Chain A
Amino acid sequence: MKEAYKDRIELLQGTLDLMILQALRGGPLHGFGISNVIRIRSRDAFQVPTGSLYPALHRLERRRWIASSWEMAKDRNREFKFYRLTPAGKKQLAAEESKWRQLADAIARMMHPAEEV
C-alpha cells in the first residue's frame, strides 16, 4: 500500500487553493469529491490530507471565493455539503492560473536554458 504513494509530491504552500478552485471549475463537488478529483487528475501524485483540505475549504469560503450548500447527490438519495465557485472565485482562479503559468515557465527556462529562443 505504501508503495502506491511513492510518487506523491509534497504540496506547495498556496497550491492547494489553486487545485481546489480548479477542481470546482467543472461544477459543484463535496469535500470527498474534490479530493478524489485532485487525486485522479494528478494520477495519484497528490493525495490531499483531510487535515489540510477542510481548513482550506472553510478558508476559501470565508474569502467568498467558493460557496457551499446542502444538496441532494445525484447518485444516492441523501444530502451532501457541496461547494461551488463564486464569480469572485472564478476571477481569483484566472489570476492564480496566469501566475502559476509564469512560475512554471520560469522554472522550465531555468531547467532547460538551451530551449530559449
Chain B
Amino acid sequence: MSQREKRESDLERELRDHLELEEERQRDAGVSEQDAPYAARQDFGNLTRIKEATRDMWAGQFFERLGQDVRFGFRMLWRSPGFSLLAILCLTLGIGANAAVFSWIEGILFRPFPAVAHQENLFALTGTTRSEPGRDDVSWPDFNDLRKNSTLFDSFIADKIMGTTLSIGGRAERATGSIVSANYFDALRVHPILGRGFAPGEDSGRNAHPVTVISYQAWKERFQGDPGIIGKTQRLNGVQHTIIGVAPEGFYGTFVGWAMQFWVPASMEETFESGGYKLEDRGARWIEGFVRLKPGVTAEQAQQEISAVAKRLEADYPATNRGRGIKLWPLSETPFNGAHTLGPTLRIILAVAVFVLLISCANVGNLLLVRSFARRHEMTVRVAVGAGRPRLLRQLLTEGLILSGIAAISGLVVANWCRNALVLFFPLRGGLRVYLTAQMDGRVLALSAGVCLIATLLFALVPAIHTSKIDLAAALRSEMSGVVGGHGKSTIRSSLVLIQVALSFVLLVAAGLLLRSLQGMQSESPGFSTQGVLTTAVDLFGAGYEPQRAKNFQDELVDRVKSLPGVESAAFARFTPLSLRSPSSAPIGVDGYVPPPDEQPTVEYNEVGPGYFETMGIPLVSGREFTRDDVETSPLVAVVNEMMVAKYWHGKDPVGERLQVKGRWMQVVGVARVSKYLSTRELPTPFFYVPLRQNFSSQSSLNIRTSLSPETMAQELAREVHAMDAGLAMYEVITMQEAVNRATSAQQAAVTLLGIFGGLAVLLAAIGLYGVMSYSVSQSKRELGLRMALGAGTSDVMRRVLSRGLTLTAVGIAVGAAAALGLTRLMGDLLYKVKPRDPLAFGSAFVLMMIASLAACFLPAWRAARTDPMRALRED
C-alpha cells in the first residue's frame, strides 16, 4: 500500500470508529436502537466534507490536489476539442499580441542595445535652447567640459551617425557608421572580438588617428570573415583607415533603427562631417551623446548636476552658449533616433493589444459559459456529494490556467515570429541597414505571464459567478428544465458581447482616425512638388573631392542632366526635405528685431543651387531665386520663407533688407512659400535658403524635375556620373512622393497594425454576437413556434431576432462611442489635422460594426424563421 493510500484508509477508519463510538454514546443516552445511527450521523456532519477539510492539513496535499485538478482539467478540455481549440486560439491572439508589443517596446524603447550591459543606467544627452522646444546637439568643447566638471557620471559617450562611401577594390558602396568618443566601447562594456576598441586620446588631434572598428556583419559580409583583418587598411571617405577591431556579433551601435557598420574616433570628424573642423569650435553643435550614471545616482540628481555645469558654461562662454542648456533623456525617450519616431506608435499599439486581449477574454468567457451550461449536471452533482465551493472555483481556475497557459506558450511563439515584423514598415534605404528587433528577455516573459494570469482571472471566473448560483434542489429535481441560472446567464452573456462590441468600436474609430490623418499627411501638399521630381545624391565629400573640384563637378553634372531628354531642370542642395539628414542651423540677426534677453534666435536653413525653387516647385512670393551669378565673389544673398517674414519683419516684404547669419550679413533677395522641412506633421516654421556656392558642401543631394521614371533616371544618371568619375557610389533615385511616404512610415505602421487588430476585434465580437444569438434562438424555440402557430410570418420572426441582435450592438456602440470620445484624445501625437471626434471616422466605424453584427445575426435569425411550429411545440 502506498503511503497515500495508507493515509487515506487510516482517515476512513478513524472517522468510522468515531461514528461507531458516537452511536454507542447515543444508545447509552437512551436513544432507541433504530434512531441511534441517524442521530449519530446528524451530529457527525458531512463525511466527505470532513475528509476534504482534514486532507487539506496534510503535507504536500496542495500539489497532489493541483495534480488532480490539472489531470481532470486536461480531460475536460480533451473531451470538447472544438471549444478548447477556439478558446486557445482566441487567447493566443490576445496574449500573443501583448507579448509581441511588450517585446517590441522592450527591444526598441527600454533595452534597445542588446549587447550593452546595464542599460538602465544609460541616458541620452542633448543640448537645449531656451525658449525653443525640442533639442539641439552638443559641441565637442562643451562635451569635454561636461565630462570634466561632473561627478555623478560613470562615463560620457559621444556618438554621431553618418553615412559614408566604403570603397573595396573598384567597388564603391554606401555604409552607415558613427563618429564616437574614444571611450565608446569601454563605456558601453562591449569588447571587440578581434583587436581592440579605441585607446584613450585617439579622439583628439585633428585627423590624427585614422583607425576604425568594424561591425561583425561588415567583417563577415564585406571582408569574408578574414581572421587577419586587424592592421589592414580600408578607405573611408577617401582616407585610408587602419582596422583595429571587430565588434562582437549582436552589437549594432547605439542608434535605434539603424545598424552601424563601422566606428571612427572623434578626431576624424573632419573627414566624415561636412562643415569643417569642429573639435575646437564651441559653437559647432554636432554630437549626440549618452551618459552612464554611477550606480545609485538618480536621473534627477544627474540632471541637476549637469544643468549646473551647463549654467557655468553659459556664463563663461556667452558668445556661443547664451540660452543653452543640457538635458538628459531616458533611453526610451531618446529624441534623436528611432525611439523618438516609434514611441507614440508603440504606445498606441500597446493600448490596442490590451483591447484585443480584453475582447478575447470576453469571448472565451462566453464560450466557457456555454460549456458550463453543458456541464451544469456535473457541477450540481459535485456540489451535492460535498465538493466545497472553493474546490469548484479552484477547478475552474485550473482549467482556465491550462487554457491560458497553452495560449501563452503559443502566443510567445507567435510573438517570436513577429520579432522583426516592424522592419517591414521601414524598407531598406540605399545601403542603410534597418535594425528594429524585439527583445524577448526575462522582463517580457514575466510581464506576459502576468497578462496570462490576469486574463485567466478575467475569463475563468465568468462561469464561477454563475456556478455560485446553483440551486441544488431545483437542479437535481429536473436537469431538463434548464433553469440553472438561466436568466442570469443570458444577462452575463449579453453584457460580455456588449463589452466586445464597445471595445471593437473604439479600435475601429482609432483606426479610422489614423487612416484619415495618414491620408491627410500623404495627400496634403508639403509645399513642394511630389510628382515629377526625383531626388538622389552624389557623395563627392566621401570620395575625397576638394571643394573646387566638387563645385566644377556639380556644375558639369547639372548641365549634363539638364540636357537629357525629358529633364526640365536640376539643382543641388545640401538638405532634402523630409530626409534623414538634418538642415543646417545658425544664429541670426535682423535689423530692428530685438530678441528677448537670454535668447539667441536660431533658424534652420538649406544651402541650395541655382534653379532649386523651380526644380522643387516651391513658389516664390516675391523677389528672385538664386542664379549662377550668385557665386563666392558676388554679394552674399538669401531667400527667406514667409514665416520668417512674419516673425522678424512683422510681415513687411524684406526684399532688399539685411539678414545676419553667423555674423555675416546677407541681402534678402526673395521670399519663398512655407513648405515641410523635417516632418510632415510639423507646423509652419521659419526657414531660409542661401546659395550653395557661397556656403559650399560637397555632400549634397541632386533634385531633378523630369517626366522620366526613377528607374530610367537612375540608369541615365549612373551613365553621366561614371562618364565623369567611375569611382563614385550612386545613391538610390526616388520620387519626392516616396520621400514623403517614407517620412510617414511610423504612421503607416500604426495604421496597418491598428487595421489588423481592429479587424480581428470585429471578427471576435461578431463571433461572440453570433454565439449569443444562436443560443437565445435555440432557447426560445417554443416561444417562436407559438408565435408562428398564431400566425406570425417568417419575416416577423426574422425581424424579431435581428432587432434583438442589433439592439445589443447599438447599445455596445453607444458605450464604445462614449469611451472613444474620451480615449482618442490620447492619440494627439499621431493625429494630423483630424479632430479626435472626426464624424467620418465615427460614422464609418458605426457602419462597419453594424454590417458585421447584421452578418453575425443573420444565420440565427434565418434558422429561427425556419422553425417548424409543430415540432417546436411538441418538444420537451
Contact = CB atoms under 8 A, between A and B. Distances in A.
Interface of A: 30-32, 36, 49-51, 54-55, 58-59, 62, 70, 80-81
Contacts of B10: 70, 81
A50 B56 contact: no
A50 B45 contact: yes
A54 B53 contact: yes
Contacts of A31: 14, 17-18
B22 A54 contact: no
A52 to B, nearest CB: 8
Contacts of A30: 14, 17-18
Contacts of B22: 32
Contacts of A80: 17
Contacts of A70: 10
B53 A32 contact: no
Contacts of B45: 49-51
Contact of B54 (A32, A49, A58): A58
A81 B54 contact: no
B593 interface: no
Contact of A32 (B11, B17, B46, B58): B17
Given A49-B45, A50-B45, A81-B13, A58 B57 contact: yes
11 contacts: A30-B18, A31-B17, A32-B21, A36-B25, A49-B45, A54-B14, A54-B54, A58-B57, A62-B58, A62-B59, A80-B17
Contacts of A81: 10, 13-14, 17
A80 B21 CA distance: 11
B49 interface: yes
Candidate in A31, A58, A80 with the most chain B CB atoms within 10 angstroms: A58
B32 to A, nearest CB: 13
Most buried by B among A49, A70, A81: A81
Contacts of A59: 57
A51 B13 contact: no
A88 B11 CA distance: 24
Contacts, number: 47
Contacts of B873: none
A50 B41 CA distance: 11
A80 B25 CA distance: 17
Given A31-B18, A81-B10, 6 more contacts: A30-B18, A31-B14, A32-B17, A32-B18, A50-B44, A62-B57
A25 B14 CA distance: 21
Contacts of B11: 54
Interface string B14-41: 1101100110010000000000000000
A32 B21 CA distance: 7
Contacts of B54: 54-55, 58
Interface residues of B, number: 22
A109 to B, nearest CB: 36
Interface of B: 10-11, 13-15, 17-18, 21-22, 25, 43-46, 49-50, 53-54, 56-59
A55 B44 CA distance: 14
A89 B694 CA distance: 99
B358 to A, nearest CB: 40
A55 B53 contact: yes
A49 B22 CA distance: 12
Contacts of B59: 62
Contacts of B53: 51, 54-55
Most chain A Cβ neighbours within 10 Å, of B17, B43, B44, B49:
B17
A101 B54 CA distance: 30
A50 B48 CA distance: 12
Nearest to A31: B18
Contacts of A54: 11, 14-15, 50, 53-54
Contacts of A36: 25
Q: Which 5 A-B pairs have the closest CB atoms?
A: A58-B57, A32-B21, A59-B57, A54-B54, A55-B53
* Most A Cβ at <10 Å: residue of B18, B43, B53: B18
A32 B46 CA distance: 16
A54, A59, A62 interface centre (most CB from chain B within 10 Å): A54
Contact of B57 (A32, A50, A55): A55
A58 B18 contact: no
A70 B11 CA distance: 12
B17 A50 contact: no
A117 B341 CA distance: 80
B235 to A, nearest CB: 79
Nearest to A81: B14
A81 B17 CA distance: 9
A49 B45 CA distance: 8
A30, A36, A55, A80 interface centre (most CB from chain B within 10 Å): A55
A75 B22 CA distance: 16
Nearest to B14: A81
Nearest to A56: B57
Contact of B49 (A32, A51, A58, A62): A51
A81 B43 CA distance: 21
A50 B10 CA distance: 16
Contacts of A32: 17-18, 21-22
Contacts of B50: 50-51, 54-55
A104 B850 CA distance: 71
Contacts of A50: 15, 18, 43-45, 50
A50 B46 CA distance: 9
Contacts of A58: 54, 57-58
A55 B56 contact: yes
Nearest to A58: B57
Contacts of B57: 55, 58-59, 62
A70 B14 CA distance: 10
A55 B61 CA distance: 13
A53 B216 CA distance: 71
Nearest to A49: B45
A42 B507 CA distance: 68
Nearest to A1: B39
Contacts of A51: 45-46, 49-50, 53
B273 to A, nearest CB: 75
A105 to B, nearest CB: 32
A57 to B, nearest CB: 8
A54 B59 CA distance: 15
Contacts of B14: 30-31, 54, 81
Nearest to B56: A55
